[in-house]
């Protein structure tokens, strides 16, 4: 068992048991695990960006607001797992088992879900996006997103941009499902100056904007 120190908080495990553990808010970016047992562990608000979790057991685990971006989940088992406001973006799911998994507002983008087992695409709690996202946003909203990314912590998080430097339209779409455009523009402009710590998932920005609305901070 060895720890991968390339990203703070991530790890590299082979053939180990980590059942009933709490990984909430962890950054598991570029973690590399094989044949590990995470049964009934909590992965809420966790980033799995660029991680490899192959042939791992996630039975009964919780993945609320978790983000799988460019993740390899080949042959892993998610039986009875709970997914809520979870995003799968460009994920490998060959042989992944979702028997009796529970979903709420879960999105699969640019992901071959047919290669997974027991994943019911007719489930209304699942949204599958096969085509490139065509989202027309105003110039003001576009500028607000660009301005927010001038904050070094926002830029490092990669939640608002894509690997080629463009605006992440999937996450903008998710934000627009929660906020109207005016509130989102104000929130992104607020974020540019107020984020002062590392974060790893879009949910952090959502909470900041929601708190700003409730407290009339902007």
pLDDT tens track for 166-199? 999 999 999 999 999 999 999 999 999 989 999 9
Distance between CA atoms of residues 165 and 145, nearest Å: 12
- Residue 119 belongs to domain spanning: 1-131
Q: Which helix (H) or strand (E) covers residue 10, if one does?
A: none
What is the model's pLDDT at position 214? 45
The CA–CA distances, whole Å, from 78 to 14, 39, 40 equal 18, 9, 10
Residues 121 and 162 in one domain: no
Residues 41, 16 share a domain: yes
Q: What CATH number did the domain enclosing 2 receive? A: 2.160.20
> Residue 136's CB: how many other CB atoms inside 10 A?
5
Same domain, 81 and 143: no
| Domain limit, last residue, from 88, 107, 131 | 131
The DSSP letter of residue 58 is -
pLDDT, one tens digit per residue, over 76-106 is 999 999 999 999 999 999 999 999 999 999 9
Phi, psi torsion values for 64, nearest 5 degrees: -75, 130
Confidence of residue 216 (pLDDT cuts 50, 70, 90): low
Distance of CA 133 to the CA centre of its chain: 17
Sole residue written with tokens 């042989």:
95
- Same domain assignment for residues 203 and 125: no
Global pTM value: 0.92
Residue 217 has pLDDT above 70, yes or no: no
Residues 32, 117, single domain; the answer is: yes
- The C-alpha atoms of residue 41 and residue 99 are separated, in whole angstroms, by 17
Same domain, 123 and 187: no
Give CA–CA dist 76/70, Å, rounded. 15
């Amino acid at each position: 068992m060895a720890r991968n120190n390339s990203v703070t908080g991530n790890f590299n495990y082979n053939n180990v048991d980590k059942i009933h553990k709490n990984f909430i808010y962890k950054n598991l970016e570029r973690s590399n695990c094989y044949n590990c047992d995470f049964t009934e562990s909590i992965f809420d608000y966790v980033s799995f960006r660029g991680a490899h979790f192959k042939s791992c057991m996630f039975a009964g685990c919780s993945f609320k607001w978790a983000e799988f971006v460019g993740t390899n989940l080949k042959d892993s088992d998610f039986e009875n797992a709970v997914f809520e406001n979870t995003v799968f973006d460009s994920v490998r799911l060959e042989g992944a088992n979702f028997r009796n998994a529970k979903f709420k507002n879960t999105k699969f983008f640019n992901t071959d879900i047919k290669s997974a087992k027991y994943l019911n695409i007719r489930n209304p709690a699942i949204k599958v996006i096969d085509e490139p996202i065509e989202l027309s946003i105003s110039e003001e909203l576009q500028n607000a997103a660009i301005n927010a990314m001038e904050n070094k912590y926002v830029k490092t998080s990669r939640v608002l941009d894509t690997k080629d430097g463009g605006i992440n339209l999937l996450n903008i779409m998710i934000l627009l499902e929660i906020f109207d455009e005016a509130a989102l523009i104000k929130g992104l402009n607020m974020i540019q100056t107020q984020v002062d710590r590392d974060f790893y998932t879009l949910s952090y920005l959502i909470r900041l904007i929601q708190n700003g609305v409730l407290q009339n901070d902007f």
